[in-house]
A and B are shown apart, each in its own frame.
Chain A
Amino acid sequence: MSKTNVADSALILKAEGLKQHYHVKQGMFKPEAVVKAVDGVSFNLEKGKTLAVVGESGCGKSTLGRMLTMIETPTDGQLGYLGQNLLTLSKSAQTKLRQKIQIIFQNPYGSLNPRKKIGSILEEPLVINTDLPKADRKAKAISMMEKVGLKAEHYDRYPHMFSGGQRQRIAIARGLMLDPHVIVADEPVSALDVSVQAQVLNLMMDLQEEFGLSYVFISHDLSVVEHIADDVMVMYLGKVVEQGTCEQLFDNPKHPYTLALLSSTPQLSPEKRRLRIKLEGELPSPLNPPSGCAFHGRCRFANERCKSETPVLKLDSYDESEQGHLIACHAVEEDRINLAEEVA
């Protein structure tokens, strides 16, 4: 693995108030609108841990992933990597550090260049970022292929010769070529069948153990998240609505949106089926977000205050036992949510 002394500092990635605002032209005479794709996200990611980001499509989870890998520069906020602020560093220093944060994309059919052989796909990061000689690059590519469960003879094949699961293995191998510390996985298993999904999840967990990787795992599948995550962040329309450890979120969910997400997920065993909190309507347009709490239009616990005042992310004052479990909801703060009443 890498020579930098990561072991000493458990905290690898620290985001503070990350924002990504896009300016959108609406027409010649209309003022520009601002889409707040991500609006103030903060988290800490420790070595060897997995942070899951969940939410519906359009909630900003992929934009967050793109900011962490610096494919896009955040419009505001701080992104600390091992104590250095990535956003204020010089270009050359940035390039060095960016190698340590890699991304795996959702669709393995679209993310591999169909005209390149697996060997050159895997070696490309090395060609660009290092000055390893050709023989070393090949050796490294082949050893990485073996680590992710591919065979050495696959080196000269093209992506179309592989199944979806194998392609995702190639994408994972490519992400690992530069010995990263952090892998941002953007819906890595949502395009795969369940049996293949299990294979890829197992592989990701094995690699995490072997290399001490930290994952930012972006997903909309809560059962996958419950299985793999240490910490979970639930996003809604660019904002974090609930944040905590995996146990806190799944055993004791508080925010009405989290409750709704959990109850919408189909469950195999009848005992685990929770009461259905049906969400009306769809995600509102980020171009014209609702005032106050962005969720109030779909929330059954909403009152006047929710419509006017934006809730901030904070600890639940009624439940002091829960360390680090943050919720952005007026109803939770005022203790207005009574699920027992809902059942009756």
Chain B
Amino acid sequence: MSLLQLDNLSVTFGKFRAVDNISYKVEEGEVLGIVGESGSGKSVSSLAIMGLIDFPGKVTADQLSFDGKDLQAMPEKQRRKLTGSDIAMIFQDPMTSLNPCFTVGYQIIEALKTHQGGSKKELKKRAVELLTQVGIPAPESRLDNYPHQLSGGMSQRVMIAMAIACNPRLLVADEPTTALDVTIQAQIIDLLIELQRKKKMGLVLITHDLALVAEVAHRVIVMYAGQIVESGPAAEVFSTPRHPYTQALLASLPESASGKARLDALPGVVPGQYDRPQGCLLSPRCPYATDHCRKEEPENQGSLNRQVKCHTPLDTQGRPAA
């Protein structure tokens, strides 16, 4: 049984489908990378898993289950218990996701108290333990600090400490290092992966940094305009992309260009609410698009392990199939 299973999850805001029928699974101890440009629905889909989509947003799914338990069917109260303890999330901007009015210690203990309870002394001891685990020096004195007294990297460590406070089995990290410097990013990612291995957590790593996903993820999902366009083992997807969008994303990275040549930039931008094309959503930007692509939406092809949503998936040479 998979830890997390989504089947045809959609999130709509009025007429706009921010997430459009996505399905994926996360196994225990697996690192799943979700990549895509801004506006591709990466964050909204993770908020839907956490049950954080408010009105007017609407979440529908054929299946949305955690460890075999149906998250949609269970009462709100029970779901609240699950999220935060068994499923935890780390948000993008550590500076704004901590409450500036309370000390770091108060906020960590609050999470512990809600889900586990215990005496004041025990809770404090556990909070110190957590801060030690995430590599914060002098944790006892840090408990009394307010968020503004911490640097970005430190705040993100505190967020991670809060997320792992109740030993979650699934951790959703939404752009956990985007706001940080590279050296700090390396520290935080190493920490996350180390914790993930030690606790055998499932980790969903949402990012727009393809290279980062290539380094740490087992499997990767590429999203475009709310849909999953390609998924598969990370090494395979990055070495032989089958969807033109994945190919274009990889080609537009400066490191794939040799010397000072021009980069292969994908023209245009992700379609928004009002300019969604007919047929395949990538067709206006896709170099291989045919009339068929512009009229009809492609189906998912391939096995569950390696899927691609394209009429003419690319072969190993990176050319579209005839």
Contacts and interface: CB of A to CB of B under 8 A. Distances in A.
B300 interface: no
Given A193-B38, A194-B210, A227 B254 contact: yes
Interface stretch (A30-38, A152-160, A271-279): A271-279
Interface stretch (A8-16, A118-126, A195-203): A195-203
Q: How large is the interface on A (under 10, 10 to 19, 20 to 34, 35 or more residues)?
A: 35 or more
Given A267-B215, A279-B186, A282-B153, A201 B254 contact: yes
A41 to B, nearest CB: 20
A179 interface: no
A57 B179 CA distance: 11
Contacts of A279: 183, 186-187
Interface stretch (A105-113, A216-224, A312-320): A216-224
A268 B256 contact: yes
B138 to A, nearest CB: 13
Given A227-B257, A228-B260, A282-B153, A198 B252 contact: yes
B76 to A, nearest CB: 36
A202 B250 contact: no
Secondary structure type dominating chain A contacts: helix
A318 to B, nearest CB: 26
Contacts of B265: 195-196, 198-199, 201-202
B181 A267 contact: no
Interface stretch (A17-25, A67-75, A258-266): A258-266
B210 A268 contact: yes
Given A201-B254, A282-B184, A267 B249 contact: no
B101 interface: no
The residue in A228, A276, A282 that gathers the most chain B C-beta atoms within 10 A of its C-beta is A282
Contact of A220 (B182, B186, B211): B182
Contacts of A220: 181-182
A198 B184 contact: no
B238 interface: yes
B304 interface: no
Interface string B171-184: 00000000001111
Nearest to B179: A57
A331 B121 CA distance: 48
A55 to B, nearest CB: 9
Given A56-B181, A223-B253, A260-B183, A202 B208 contact: no
A265 B266 CA distance: 23
B160 to A, nearest CB: 16
Nearest to B38: A193
A113 to B, nearest CB: 23
B190 interface: yes
Contacts of A199: 265, 267
B315 interface: no
B52 interface: no
Interface in A162-206: 163, 165, 193-199, 201-202, 205-206
A220 B32 CA distance: 27
A174 to B, nearest CB: 21
B188 to A, nearest CB: 11
A268 B214 contact: yes
A278 B262 CA distance: 33
Interface of A: 56-57, 163, 165, 193-199, 201-202, 205-206, 220, 222-224, 226-228, 260-261, 263-270, 272-273, 276, 278-279, 282-283
